[in-house]
Structure 1
Amino acid sequence: MSVRDPNPLDSRHPKRVAIVLSSPAISTTTGWPVGFWWSELTHPWLAFRERGYEVVLYSPAGGRCEADSLSDPRDPSRYSDTDLISLGFLSTPKLAALVEATRPVSELSVDGFDAIVVAGGQAPMFTFEKATELQRLFVAFFEAGKVAAALCHGVALLRYARLSSGEALVKGRTVTGFANIEEDFADQAVWEMGALTRGTHLMPWRIEDEMRALGANYVQAGLWRDFAVRDGNLITGQQNFSGAATARLVIEALGG
Structure 2
Amino acid sequence: MVMTSHHDMQNTEDKTGVWIGEFTDPYYEFIDAGYRVDLVSPKGGRPPVDPMSELTENITGSNRRFQDDDDAKNAFSHTSTLNGIRASDYDAVFYPGGHGPLWDLAVDNNSGILIHDFLDAGKPVAAVCHGPAALLSAENIRPGFLKGKRISAFSNTEETIVGRGDHVPYLLQTKMEELGVEIKNSLVPFLSHVEIDGLLITGQNPLSAGPVAKALIERLADKQEQQPEQSPETESFTKA
Give the TM bin, normalised by the shorter chain.
0.7 to 0.9
Match of residue 29 from structure 1: 11
Q: Which runs of 4+ in 1 moved over 6 A?
A: none
The AA in structure 2 aligned to 1:172 is G
**Aligned with residue 56 of structure 1, among 26, 38, 61:** 38
Q: Deviations over 1:80-114 (max 9, x none)?
A: 24x12111112222211111100011111111001
Between structure 1 and structure 2, the one with the greater Rg is: 1
**Aligned with residue 250 of structure 1, among 213, 216, 221:** 216
Q: Residues of 1 paired with 2:213 and 2:75: CA distance?
A: 19
Shift of 1:169: 2.6
3-state SS in 2 of match to 1:67:
coil
**Change beyond 3 A, Cα 1:202–1:171:** same
User: Does residue 172 of the first structure (1) align with residue 148 of the second (2)?
Assistant: yes
TM-score under structure 1 length normalisation:
0.81
The AA in structure 2 aligned to 1:148 is V
Shift of 1:24: 3.5
8 Å CA contact 1:160, 1:168 repeated in 2: no
Shift of 1:168: 3.1
The AA in structure 2 aligned to 1:58 is V
Shift of 1:40: 0.8
8 Å CA contact 1:25, 1:127 repeated in 2: no
Gaps of 5+ in 1: 1-18, 191-199
Match of residue 67 from structure 2: 90
8 Å CA contact 2:6, 2:101 repeated in 1: no
Match of residue 207 from structure 1: 172
8 Å CA contact 2:127, 2:203 repeated in 1: yes
Shift of 1:243: 0.8
Aligned length: 221
The AA in structure 1 aligned to 2:149 is R
3-state SS in 1 of match to 2:93:
strand
Match of residue 12 from structure 1: none
3-state SS in 2 of match to 1:254:
helix
Match of residue 76 from structure 2: 99
**Aligned with residue 28 of structure 2, among 42, 46, 49:** 46
3-state SS in 2 of match to 1:160:
helix
Q: Residues of 1 paired with 2:23 and 2:3: CA distance?
A: 8
Q: Which structure shows the bigger proportion of residues in helix conformation?
A: 2
